[in-house]
Structures are given as structure tokens and as C-alpha cells.
Structure 1
Amino acid sequence: MAALTVTVSTTKLNDANAQPTYPTLRRHARYWLDDGSLVVRAQNDIYKVHRTLLDRHSKVLATLGPSTEGPDESKKTVDGLVVMHIPDELEVRSEDFEALLEHIYHDAPVNNSASFPKVASVLRASSKEQLDFPAIHTLARARLEEMFPSGPQASFSSEHAEEALTLAVNHDIPSIRKALYYSIATHSHDHDADAASADASAPRRPPLSPELSARCDALLEKLISHFTPILFTVATANHMSCTDVLAEKWMPLVIQPALDDNGLCRPLETLERIIAIDWAAEGLCEDCVRDKREEWRGEQRDVWERMDEWLR
């Protein structure tokens, strides 16, 4: 990117001899358009784009004021255009603004093939708390909802779960919040192990806020407390012979595997594994297999419904 130096003094008040230092604004490599009519600054990047296109979508951008940084008026214009500065208090990241422009200019639109980082960037930048592009925000929100389950899906995990939960909470997307809370709460030890063994140069998962971390920890405690008696109580059947089979097989087929892979912390997955066991081959009659599987499905639904109360 070509660089443009603007003057934003960082001189200390008690150091009269110090020379002020100024950040370097970078002209964006793609969105510095020759026929652009608006120069927008997001963090330390500047973009030359079409005013009418952005103003049509966003009242916030339509009312932007010029940058107030610089020692004189000449530093406030670039290519004869006044630099309009997105206020720092809106917390618009430069990479998010770039993703928003990619959607607006149809270079990388938010569609069914859009990646999570792309959708997350557009969702943030288009929100009413930032640049307020209502139609684009609705589209990004819908795409995010498609990426994560809204029901009790066992074995769901995602490398983007923490960031997705933060987005779901900040932007009030209840349809995917519960699955994300469950995934993070029940796989937190996996994340710790990944962090310990990961390449130092690899990107780190974004941390949760202390409040969200505490809610996930509290949820895990509730899940374990609820599921412990279910796991360690041998199931019974309608027929004595089938009950005897369950009593014989419960430890090797149910309890021990759960102890081996933290199944106590993951009731949905553990119940799914119990359901998947070929109980007929182990000696249960057809009626008891059907009844027990429906009972275990009911246990999954019960866990999912109780989470509404546990997450309040």
C-alpha cells in the first residue's frame, strides 16, 4: 500500500523538546478508486470510495465529519478530498470495514459460501452500534445462523465458537446461543489442550469475556450435576431378562467409555453414543430397544430444555 503520513501528535506535555510523532495512514490497495468521491479513514487505513453508494446504505457514513488530526488544514485532504474519520468510539476495525466494502462492491459478497471471518466482520461493521447498514446486517445475521445449529446437535464443535458466541450475545441472536454455550462449556478442556500444544505462530482462538467464561463454567457445573446420576444409575427395562442385560453391560459399554473420554461433561454426546449401541446384539428384545432409545432421546431433550433455565 502507498503510505500517507498525517500528523497526530503523541508528544508528552512535560517534554518540551520532544518532537511529535504521527501515525502513518495507509492507502488501501484495492479500495483506493480513481473515480472515488469520498476518503474514509478506519483506524490507520484510508479508503477512496464512492460517496453515493455508501450514503445510500448508511446514515452513519452519510453524517461523518472530517478528521481533526493534523497540524494544519492541508493535512486533512487527500487527492483534494477531505478525509472523513470513522470515530474511534465506534470501534470499527479496518479489516471489518474492508470486508463490508467487499460485500458492497460485490467482490466478496456475504452468501452461502462466505467464510465465518468474513461474515463476522460484516456483521460487526454493519451493526447499528457501528456503521448501521440494516439490510446488510440482516443478511450477515442470517448467514451466521446458518453456520451453527439451533437444536440439540450432539458432537458439535467449531474453531470459531468463542467468537460466534460473542457475536450472538452482542447482536442478540438467540437461535444459536444455546448450542454455542454448550459447545464451549463442554469442550473447554479441549481448547486448553490445543492452546498448550499449538504452534506458537498459529492464530489463537479469541478469548471470551470474563462474563461469558463464567457463564460457560456455571453451565458445565449444571450439566455434570444433572447427568451424573443418570450416567451412574443402571438403566432398567420392561422385561427382567432385558434389565439383566443392561445391568451386565452398563459398566463396560456405557460408564467406562464415558470416563475414558470426559463423557460425563458431555451429556448429549454420551446419550447419543448409548443410543447408537447395538442393544439387540447385546441381548435386548426389540420392544425394549425401541423404548430405551426413546427414553434416552427424551433425556437429550430434557438437557436441552433445562439449559434455558441454567443460562438465565
Structure 2
Amino acid sequence: MENFRPTKRSKLELAAPVSHKNEQFWILDGNTVLEVGGVLFKLHRSRLVDQSIFFSHLLDERNVQMDGVVVKSDENGIVYHLSNTTPKDLEALLQLDKNPMAYYLVPPPFPVLAAIIRAATALRFDTYRAFAVKHLENAWSSSVTDLTTERKSNAVEVVVLARTCGINSVLKRAFYEMVRVAGYGLGDGEFDADNGERPQEISRADERRLERMREHLISAWLQVAVRVDRTFICPNQPKEPTAGTESRSSTLPKCPSLYSKRDAWERRVHDSGLYAEYKFDPFCGLQALIDIKWDEDEGWCSDCVHAKREVWRTMRQRTWERIEVWMGLDK
């Protein structure tokens, strides 16, 4: 019996991906075939043109040529090969187009939301992009009143998405979430995603921004929390009487001594671990100081507590506003 030897195939032929039809979006009565990353989509031309500026230009009868698009003919007819999106991203976008009300009340999980934004940005589905970006902005609010001690995940991915798709409105919150955790939440370069993809990385310029921001936040926290403010004067501190007036010392409540306040500060700020806990996060740290019931169990007078809380609230707001300058986001 003769030995059977298979016919040799060229390296180019072996490397070429074998396209397969998308199970859900190979529509039988569709009339436009797209190929993305080896996956074929058969869709309705009228819907694509109606929803997407990209496709309204691409599918124009004048056959406009566009970067990142190769048009070929095969057994499926005319096929538009796209390189500006991925099969997963396009499928997420088409799912939204199939049922626009699906995420009206409950937003999609972040991976799906990010996929929609990437595809909608690349393919100019502007209405769906605006819808998805609004969900992202709500989840990554830039208001100081929305900051909590609960850490938000996916901050690195949000920065990468924002930089890629031009969504600067979420950068402030995402940078803040990164800067208040050890290592900025950056991966160690290993394959740690469920699908084996490499973790996303931010630019070196953004890493330097994070370093600068952390330095400012540490400085702000040191300024307020390292020790009790010795320069603070209690609002009800009696003043020396002037000629023709009587001293108010007998009518004002007695304010505890600086020693008493300092002792309370050591116990509630340092001994409790609060100072170390908020080393990189003065915003939640200041809120923790505001929430302490100083006048009930620490012997501070109520006027002192009220005045200090106003100082801390003001500092919290102004420090948050300065982040745009520190990070270069105000340009």
C-alpha cells in the first residue's frame, strides 16, 4: 500500500482564519455581509444606514472607500471586511440595536457597556454611544458627594476606554479610584482575564499623573490629620473686655483645653487606625472626621465641632476641585 502524503499548503493559507457565521446575527433576509475578526454578520442594510454614519458612508451607492475596510466578493456575495472593531464588541452593539429598551432601567455590566461604547464609537452609532456613555458617567460620577469608602472595580479599564474613545468626563473618578489603592490597581503583566487576554494598560503619561496626584493627596491628608490644629480658635472663646463692656466668659460654655482635644485626636484619629486607613484618600478621610461625634463623647464644645466640620467640608470640596489641575484634566 502506498504511503499517503497530504498536499502541502502555503503558510499564508494556513495562517488565514476560517470565517464562520455568527449564530445570532446571520439574518436570513439580510442583504449586507460584514466580516469582523473571522466572524460573518449578515444584516439589514437599511438598519445599518439609518443608525450609523459610518455605514451610511460605506454603503453609499457611490461606493465610497474608507480606511480599515476591504471589500471582496465570494460565495456570500459582497463582503465588507472591517478592522476597526471586534466580533464581541460588534455583537454587543447589535444586541442593543435589537432591543434598545433592554438596558433602559438596569445598565449592562461594565464589560458589555465598554464593548458597546467601543463599537459605537468606531462605527459611528452616535445615539447608542451617547446612551452608553451616559450610563458610564452615572457609574463613574465626578461629584464629590458620590464618593464612598467602597472601592470601584474596573478603574484601569475605564481609563483605557476613556482615552481610546474620548470620554474625558469619567477620567477624574477613575484616576481617584486608582490612586487610593496599592499599586494603583495595575496588574503585574500576566494573563489574568477570564478569556486569556492581557490586562489593559494605561499610558506612561497617565502613570505619572497618578504619581503626582497621590503626592498631592498625601500632602492634603497630612495637613489636616497628622495632629490637632493648634492654630484653631474656638468661636466661643471669650475675648478680653473692652472699655464699657462686660466679659462674656460667664455666659459662654467652657471650651475644653488644647490638651484635652489633642488627647481625643490621638485616640480617634491615630490609635483607631483612621489616619493610616485614609493615607491615600483624604476625601473619605475628611468625611470620617466629619462623622465623628466629637462633642458627645470627646469633650469638644459644640461650637468647635461645628466650625471644624465646616472647615473640613470646604477642604474636601476644594481638594476635589484641584484634581483637574493636578492631573492636567482642565486643559
TM-score w.r.t. length of structure 2: 0.75
3-state SS in 2 of match to 1:104 = helix
3-state SS in 2 of match to 1:217 = helix
Cα pair 2:282 2:316 within 8 Å, conserved: yes
Q: How many angstroms does 1:288 deviate by?
A: 1.6
Structure 2 residue 180 is matched with structure 1 residue 186: yes
Partner of 1:77: 75
Query: Which of 322, 327, 330 in structure 2 is aligned with 1:306?
Result: 322
Change (3 A) 1:279 1:215: same
Q: How many angstroms does 1:300 deviate by?
A: 0.7
Please list, as runs of the form range in 1=range in 2, the aligned pairs for 1:36-55 lying within 5 A after superposition: 36-55=30-49
Query: Which of 164, 171, 181 in structure 2 is aligned with 1:177?
Result: 171
Q: How many angstroms does 1:10 deviate by?
A: 5.0
Structure 2 residue 256 is matched with structure 1 residue 241: yes
Partner of 1:282: 298
Cα pair 2:71 2:79 within 8 Å, conserved: no
Please list, as runs of the form range in 1=range in 2, the aligned pairs for 1:65-144 lying within 5 A after superposition: 67=70, 76-78=74-76, 81-86=77-82, 88=83, 90=84, 92-106=85-99, 109-113=102-106, 114-127=108-121, 130-144=122-136
Task: Quote the Cα distance in structure 2 between the aligned partners of 1:227 and 1:10.
Answer: 61
Q: Deviations over 1:16-60 (max 9, x none)?
A: xxx654211121111111111111111221111111111111132
Cα pair 1:57 1:133 within 8 Å, conserved: yes
Runs (5+) with no aligned partner, structure 1: 1-8, 12-18
Task: Quote the Cα distance in structure 1 between the aligned partners of 2:39 and 2:25.
Answer: 10
Task: Quote the Cα distance in structure 2 between the aligned partners of 1:48 and 1:210.
Answer: 41
Q: Deviations over 1:55-83 (max 9, x none)?
A: 111132231677457xxx5xx232xx321
3-state SS in 2 of match to 1:178 = helix
Cα pair 1:23 1:44 within 8 Å, conserved: yes
Cα pair 2:162 2:170 within 8 Å, conserved: yes
Task: Quote the Cα distance in structure 2 between the aligned partners of 1:278 and 1:54.
Answer: 60
Cα pair 2:193 2:199 within 8 Å, conserved: no
Q: How many angstroms does 1:106 deviate by?
A: 0.9
Change (3 A) 1:250 1:237: farther
Partner of 1:251: 266
More helix by share: 1
Structure 2 residue 151 is matched with structure 1 residue 151: no
Cα pair 1:220 1:265 within 8 Å, conserved: yes
Query: Which of 286, 294, 302 in structure 2 is aligned with 1:271?
Result: 286
Partner of 2:21: 27
3-state SS in 1 of match to 2:202 = coil
Task: Quote the Cα distance in structure 1 between the aligned partners of 2:324 and 2:15.
Answer: 53
Cα pair 1:110 1:140 within 8 Å, conserved: no
Cα pair 2:160 2:200 within 8 Å, conserved: no
Q: How many angstroms does 1:184 deviate by?
A: 0.8
Q: How many angstroms does 1:295 deviate by?
A: 1.2
Partner of 1:6: none
Partner of 1:61: 55
Q: Deviations over 1:229-272 (max 9, x none)?
A: 322131345055164332112222113414543x2211111111
Cα pair 2:218 2:280 within 8 Å, conserved: yes
Output the amino acid matched with 1:151: S
RMSD between aligned residues: 2.9
Question: How many residue pairs end up in the alignment?
Answer: 282
- Bigger Rg, structure 1 or 2: 2
Q: How many angstroms does 1:110 deviate by?
A: 4.1
Q: How many angstroms does 1:190 deviate by?
A: 7.1
